[in-house]
Amino acid sequence: MRSVYRVAQVRSAESALMATLPAGTLMQRAAAGLARRCAVTLRGQGGVYASRVVLLVGPGDNGGDALFAGAMLARQGVQVGALLGDPDRAHAEGLAALRGAGGRVLADWPKRIDLVVDGLLGIGATGALRGTALTLAEQLAERTPRPVVIAVDVPSGVGVDTGDVPGTAIHADVTVAFGCLKPAHVVGPAAVLAGQVELVDIGIVPHLVGDPALRVADTADIAAWWPHPGPVSDKYTRGVVGVATGSAGYPGAALLSLSGALAGPAGLVRYAGSAHEIVVPAHPSVIAAPRMAEAGRVQAWVCGSGLGTDDRAAAEVRGVLAAPVPALLDADAITLLVDGSMSSELRSRDAPTVLTPHDREYARLAGADPGADRVAAAQKLASWTRSVVLLKGDRTVVAGPSGEAWVNPTGTPALATGGTGDVLSGLLGSLLAAGLPAIRAAVVAAYIHGLAGRIAATSGPVTAVDVAAALRPAIASLTRTPTGTAPVRPT
């Protein structure tokens, strides 16, 4: 598991550590890690000696890191040139070190570039890129062929604490993050611009205070949390999941959510709904009934997709809300919550509730788009509804009513196709029925669903049926890979 911290937490940890060290020590640690990573890239492109590196240098310490790393590379025979965003405010000692090692300040972009180091802005950034920093970022974006870019701490132009991208920003191949992960490395569009994130330990971790802003699970966590049957398990002790989705008009939603539920750890899957005659030929192990009241006992309900929004559907959602077991509400069930007529039933539930909105469903329910800070948006809805909220996206966010938040690292654009959400809700319901705490069930389901999307995408364009079929190999891969496939590797 990786913990992600906000800028204020990083700043106070850095201050606490700096008070115990000679001046400049942290910047030297950061620059050394950055220079090492740059050398790895240059070696991979044909060699370090005589390669050409351009530093983009901003007015703060982020630019200082780039200048000191440039000096280290210059001493290894690299031709290093610096483009200064604000010549009067460039880090003076860093600039002297670069010049002393044979590096130069450039008046313009050179023709040949093997690597660009983005040291325009780090954790001191506010708002969209502006001034010369913006001009340099725009000029970089226009270059063809596009040079390889390594960002210093964060890609310039991103919202470090939110992961939003308010304007032009640098698109990095690699981001060398100092000390710990920040939200921009893992969430929102910023996470895509960060590329491969590599952590350099500069010693601040023991000084980080307070709960992390976010957590990211890795394969080892998911493997440890996945419930397995024991020698005395039976189909009932493993948990029974009830699926109230689809309808005679939309039987596909029922079939897809059932395929997700059947891949999960529950021992039995029951179906309740008007597609009951259709689901059994497709999934013979499912026990089907026309209504919830006739479905038999379950340890969790999944309700919503393809249900419709008529009186019958509303009665089913009320029935699920009244049931004393964990409940997942998706799609049409979320729509039925929008008018507020079921708010008190929702907010007063004793058993856990999970809501799985995409952005448009979120906007209908919360009254506004998730906006720039997707984590805060999910936390707000979780707190108001007293539910776990799984806000779908390329980096799906999971937030609990107490404020705990997770981001899923396995997402893929391949999942952006109709019906994949139904597969996710079935799988998540099965994890709830197997007894996982709601927030953990949501984190595990999002992770496995993302892996399945990636596996399905290896054979070409993906449908929800392909994602459902890939759930089993995704789950099997947990036991084959004892430690992480997280997107972050320490250097």
Ligand X SMILES: NC(=O)C1=CN([C@@H]2O[C@H](COP(=O)(O)OP(=O)(O)OC[C@H]3O[C@@H](n4cnc5c(N)ncnc54)[C@H](O)[C@@H]3O)[C@@H](O)[C@H]2O)[C@@H](O)CC1
Residues that bind ligand X (CB under 6 A): 14, 18, 26-27, 30, 58-63, 65, 121-131, 133, 152-153, 178, 202
The verdict on whether residue 350 carries a ligand-binding annotation is: no
Rounded to 10 degrees, the C-alpha dihedral 361/364/366/371 comes to: 70
How far apart CA 439 and CA 447 sit, in angstroms, is 12
In whole angstroms, how close is the CB of 183 to ligand X at the nearest point? 14
Count the neighbouring beta carbons within 10 Å of the beta carbon of residue 38: 29
Q: Which CB atom, from 133 or from 414, has the smaller least distance to ligand X?
A: 133
Q: Which CB atom, from 119 or from 319, has the smaller least distance to ligand X?
A: 119
Q: Which CB atom, from 118 or from 316, has the smaller least distance to ligand X?
A: 118
SS3 (DSSP) at 486: coil
The verdict on whether residue 125 carries a ligand-binding annotation is: yes
The verdict on whether residue 63 carries a ligand-binding annotation is: yes
In whole angstroms, how close is the CB of 99 to ligand X at the nearest point? 19
In whole angstroms, how close is the CB of 167 to ligand X at the nearest point? 8
Q: Which CB atom, from 129 or from 302, has the smaller least distance to ligand X?
A: 129
Q: Which CB atom, from 57 or from 432, has the smaller least distance to ligand X?
A: 57
| Cα angle for residues 480, 483, 487 (degrees, 5° grid) | 110
Q: Which CB atom, from 18 or from 363, has the smaller least distance to ligand X?
A: 18
CA-based end-to-end distance of the chain: 17
Helix 25-44 to helix 7-18 angle, to the nearest 10 degrees? 120
DSSP designation for 434: T
Phi–psi pair at 213, nearest 5 degrees: -65, -30
Please name the helix (run of DSSP H) or strand (run of DSSP E) that holds residue 256, with its range, or none: helix 251-263
The verdict on whether residue 64 carries a ligand-binding annotation is: yes
The verdict on whether residue 394 carries a ligand-binding annotation is: yes
How far apart CA 458 and CA 468 sit, in angstroms, is 14
How far apart CA 480 and CA 42 sit, in angstroms, is 33
The verdict on whether residue 156 carries a ligand-binding annotation is: yes
In whole angstroms, how close is the CB of 198 to ligand X at the nearest point? 14
How far apart CA 110 and CA 174 sit, in angstroms, is 22
The verdict on whether residue 417 carries a ligand-binding annotation is: no
In whole angstroms, how close is the CB of 94 to ligand X at the nearest point? 10
In whole angstroms, how close is the CB of 197 to ligand X at the nearest point? 14
Count of all residues that appear for the chain in the document: 491
The verdict on whether residue 221 carries a ligand-binding annotation is: no
Query: Quick check: 271 and 430 in contact, CB under 8 A?
Result: no
Which residues are part of a known binding site for K(+)? 62, 118, 156
Annotated binding site: 61-65, 118, 122-128, 153, 156, 253, 306, 358, 392-396, 421-422
Q: Binding site membership for AMP: which residues?
A: 392-396, 421
